[in-house]
Chain A
Amino acid sequence: MTSGTGDAGARTAPEAGAGDRMKLRGEITSIRGTVVEMRFEGVLPPIGSGVVCLPEGRPPVTGEVYGHNDATTVRAIAIDSTRGLRRGEPVESTGEPLRVPVGPELLGRVIDLHGRALDAGPPLDGKSRAPLRRPPPAPRDRRASGQVYETGIKVIDLFCPMVHGGRAAVFGGAGVGKTIVLTEFIHNAVESLEGVAVFAGIGERSREGLELWEELERRAVMERTALVFGQMKEPPGARFLIGFAALAVAEHFRDVEGRDVLFVVDNVYRYVQAGMEVSGLLGRMPSRVGYQPTLAADLADLEERITATARGNMISLQAIYVPADDYSDPAITHAFGYLDSALVLSRDIATEGLYPAIDPLASWSKALDVEIIGRRHDEVLQEARQVLGRYQELRDIISMLGMEELSAEDRRIVGRARRLRSYFTQPFFVTESFTGQAGQRVPIETTVGDVGAILDGRCDERGERELFMIGSLADLEKKPADG
């Protein structure tokens, strides 16, 4: 959403050079909701630059320029509440884009779009600030993905593996464990990557952000995590930009400090929704299903910047809400184009108490290529899918007739499928306080070997419950000794 209604007669400030600190001054001419129009004499702040309204006796209100109405008037969307703002009040702009603090001092901190601390910690007045909007890395600077990134979560590593430099999305409704999966990801990534995690909280409930923060604190991974929040209560302009702010923070870690970064977004659909609101505020014609006409460009602005470069690695995990479970929704179809892996959380699996409730048959990954995952992984994966698929087909039959009426072959398949489903449950580090079980990470090779063993019938004599909430099959050997 960077284009505006340009005017040939308008003179704009020179491109925001580093040393250009010239202040442009103007005044507010109209306010409609969070749309603020302001008049500048002479030079206009360029599209995409920041403007600050300075009401007397009240905190300043920041906005981003979206259009030039004529030779003297610009239209901006406020990223703060405009309540109390009046026409005629002064406005200032340096002609530079909005910036956010970046750097290692953000680790362990929670900030908003302005870089203000939300965690009652000391203010972040570091010198490094990066622009929210910037072009994506040039193709020559990008690192080709292809190497599998091991999450340590069995069902993900087997059925929908992630790749370095890739983007994965978690689809699911409320209460199926989406946040738990995201949090475990952060925990494991921070440990395994020896890197940092940056979390962008876009348009979700503030309570959820607080819970995540507490959990990360409890797990002692907050010291390598930066949280950037623009939650539901924020104006649409802020919610639309918060993803870019978090990205700017992540890019600094990747490009300047050369660290591996896990970039987590919760929730991409809220970003699209905020864009839709901003578009409406600007009076643009809605496009399909009421979305903004710039939907594809908006998503590209965010997603294209999420990539690994020659200087550092970046993996992204994004939660995506699917409106009315409609995967043909334009926002979802556009988002799909950018994904390398999709993890679908299933309410049916969650109600059976099988966590993580990832549906292995609905989830997918572009990394499921024998060249990437290897022949053995591919063989085991295909067989596991067949077994689970057959079990899925037989479930209603079993509920009507019972197991004993199945053929011997089907009974064998069902038994192994059930053992597989039990095996795919896993104690998480971030749920230790609920389950009382120590978290477990399982290497991919172990997962592939274990699943192969179950499919070969080497666990047929074991009860399904024995495989529930274990790490690898090696844990079974310890069980009798423990018992």
Chain B
Amino acid sequence: MSRERVLQRRLRTLGTLEEAVSALRSLSAQHFRAARAPLAAVRAYRDEVQRFLGVLGGAHAAPVPGGPTGIVLVAADLGLVGDYTTRLVREALELRAESDPGPIVCLGHRAVSPLARAGITPTSVQPAPTSVAGLPGLLLPLVDTLLSLRRNGALGSLWLVAARFEGAGEYAPTRVPVLPVAAPEGRPALAPSPYCNADALRAVVVREYLYVSLYETLLEALASEHGKRLVTAESARSWLEERIGATRRLATAIRREASTQEVLEVVVAARGGRSGTGGAS
């Protein structure tokens, strides 16, 4: 195959890749915005639920004595995020080493291999969320699972290990204590109500708190992941653009060389013909 044809093929491949990466970049930007938009409202709601728990008072905040520490590890299932999952797994392993190891729930299949290398098999592995729209469907069964583990005494405390958003493309692996709930102190207890059982109400609010805490953390993790992917895709696109430019210039130079060669052959043939040594004149 001629070099020119090889370069044309490479140009087509690079062009297709650039289109794909550009589309990925746009998608990441859209998911990023979708994850960032509700965060402020979710935070305010979580504060409100936490405050209400303080008002309720009671034993919801007490740890299960001697109970193991559970971890929900929020990783990623999609690529183009660099060492995102590796850093989070490292953070989870550090937390596990510092406490009484309990069940580990893994959101994202990519975290399974590094955990296995550390000799850990997750209690449960679920697909990582890829968009805000997928969060409720993931969270409802997850919260139920976690609460049942806690009720069974398999979970003394629960931590979330996820990425904390620090700006587009910037994140830090962080651990967030969720259970027992750190309710604000010094709040007056709610007067007993004849209409609602206090324990039942407390259970509902704890469930709500767990749900909204997970939701907030997952939103922030989603924003971090998509922010990182956006920046990576942007770098990839710039690199592809450079490669396309360089390849195009090379192809042009080869084409020019070929034209020059053709002109030279014509000139040589013409001269040969004129001097009678070139055959036909």
Contact = CB atoms under 8 A, between A and B. Distances in A.
A401 interface: yes
B167 A406 contact: yes
B170 A397 contact: no
A408 interface: yes
Interface stretch (B72-80, B131-139, B190-198, B255-263): B255-263
Contact of B253 (A287, A289, A393, A401): A289
23 contacts: A285-B264, A286-B263, A286-B264, A287-B260, A289-B256, A289-B260, A290-B259, A290-B260, A328-B250, A397-B169, A397-B230, A397-B231, A397-B234, A400-B230, A405-B167, A406-B168, A407-B167, A407-B170, A408-B167, A409-B170, A410-B167, A410-B169, A411-B167
Contact of B252 (A286, A288, A326, A396): A326
Interface stretch (B28-36, B99-107, B202-210, B213-221): B28-36
Contact of A409 (B25, B167, B234): B167
A217 to B, nearest CB: 42
Interface in A188-239: none
Interface string B223-265: 0000100110011001000000000011011001101100110
Nearest to A392: B238
Nearest to B33: A401
Q: Which of B167, B227, B256 has the most CB of A within 10 A?
A: B167
Contacts of A326: 249, 252-253
Nearest to B32: A401
Contacts of A285: 264, 267
A288 B260 contact: yes
A290 B29 contact: no
A324 interface: yes
A396 B169 CA distance: 13
A286 B230 contact: no
A240 B250 CA distance: 29
Contacts of B48: none
Given A289-B253, A289-B257, A408-B167, 8 more contacts: A286-B260, A286-B263, A288-B257, A290-B256, A290-B259, A407-B166, A407-B170, A411-B167
Nearest to B223: A405
A420 to B, nearest CB: 21
Contact of A405 (B227, B250, B257, B259): B227
Secondary structure type dominating chain B contacts: helix
Interface residues of A, number: 21
Contact residues on B (Cβ < 8 Å of other chain), bracket: 20 to 34
Contacts of A328: 249-250, 253
Nearest to A395: B234
Nearest to A289: B256
Contacts of B25: 400
Contacts of A405: 32, 36, 167-168, 227
Contact of A410 (B36, B170, B230, B235): B170
Contacts of A290: 256, 259-260, 263
A405 B226 CA distance: 12
A397 B253 contact: no
Contacts of A289: 253, 256-257, 260
**What are the 7 closest A-B residue pairs judged by CB atoms, nearest first?**
A407-B167, A407-B170, A289-B256, A406-B167, A400-B29, A405-B168, A407-B166
A371 B36 CA distance: 50
A397 B25 CA distance: 10
A177 B169 CA distance: 36
Interface in B163-188: 166-170
Interface in A361-417: 393, 396-397, 400-401, 405-411
A286 B257 CA distance: 11
Interface in A270-294: 285-290
